[in-house]
Amino acid sequence: MQYGLIGEKLGHSYSKEIHTAFGKYDYELKELSKDEVKDFILGKQFKGLNVTIPYKETVMEYLDFIDDEAKAIGAVNTVVNKEGKLYGYNTDFYGMLEVLKDTGFDFKDKKVLILGVGATAKTATAVLNHLQVKDIFYAARNKTKSFCIDKTVSFTEAKETLTDVDFIVNTTPCGMYPNLEDQAIDLAHFKNIYGVFDVIFNPGRTQLMLQAESLNKRAFGGLKMLVYQAVYAAEKFTGESVERNLSERILKDLRSKNENIVLIGMPASGKSTVGKLLSKDLSKEFFDTDNLIVKKAGCEITDIFANKGETYFRDLESEVIKEVSLKKNVIIATGGGAVLRKENVEALKAYGRLYFIDRALENLLPTEDRPLANDAEKIKKLYETRLPIYKEAADVVVECDNILEHKVEKIKRDHYEH
């Protein structure tokens, strides 16, 4: 191959999509075992490579030249073959720098906790030192493997002794697909943090990020870092610069192609109708969780409530949401009570952006097929109880008139531009 990515497991990589969007060269993904790495690198049958977990340190001993920055970091993620000589660089540094500069946080003289002590933690250390932080500490499961033992504690010790840190960077794979429910550390112990940066990009929002948001802290994911490290790698490959406008467009396109549009709101608020219109306009598959529940149960929702009760229905709803939320680039309309369970909201937010269709109470009409909303008084009570829950769960509140097209256009704009 001419250009591509090597790593141990690449099934969920976005790198081919990103590099193809530059329009400069063909790009391939190649999974290698540890035993295959040396022969592949020394075979030199490539023009340029990106390197990912777990080979960013491994490849260094096979290179002819290592950039001073990459050498100082102790990790290489980009290799260029120049007339048979292999040159190593670390473009992760610039990708991470782009993210941390965009946080709006002044890192100078601040105290930061890095979760993990691998190659990416080394990159984070270099970036944070560049931003002139005062102190960097590390949390690891095995302190003896740390490159900075005197500043490394266990995760338990971090929660007890480093509660005053200003920012947290997660460089571990904890929370990465398919282990979405994993979380490296409980943020409740860190009252003073401005926010967190999680280098993971799959899912779009990890449990760590979701907890940060629930605590009204800022949360930043790894997708932008992924795109911008690719930008700098492409510039190393070709010797040509990549325009900032193109970089931002690739980032937005990648996000919109992998992020679900999730519609929440009261029964009869128009979620399914809006969802079907969005599906038609955006050519995205549409799912209605109530319909999925009916299919799974083999009977109508009124029968489920009558024969099995609401708790059984909610359990079935959670099962359905957990399954459908793992899809990408789809539109999901949820039942009115889906947001009542925290687990549902977290599952939907991992790969989706939640839009609350806030239809005025006077426009919510009773429907016979919804046991909890089959008369006006029930709807009124539900609305009063659930309104703050919808607003808290939503990423965007869609407050429009009764013209459906206006709601659709607002969601489409936000989906592409946020």
Q: Which residue, among 319, 6, 350, 331, has the nearest Cα to 176 in the 3D structure?
A: 350
Q: Which two tokens stand for residue 197?
A: 């940066």
d(CA 278, CA 325): 17
Distances (CA, A) of 126 to 60, 99, 164, 317: 18, 14, 22, 46
d(CA 232, CA 98): 11
Q: Could you give the residue ranges of the DSSP H alpha helices within 221-300? A: 223-238, 244-258, 271-282, 289-297
> What radius of gyration, in Å, describes the C-alpha atoms of the chain?
24
Question: How does DSSP assign 301-364, residue by residue?
Answer: HHHHHHHT-HHHHHHHHHHHHHHHTT-SSEEEEPPTTGGGSHHHHHHHHHHEEEEEE---GGG-
d(CA 328, CA 330): 6
- 387, containing H or E segment: helix 376-393
The residues that are catalytic are 56
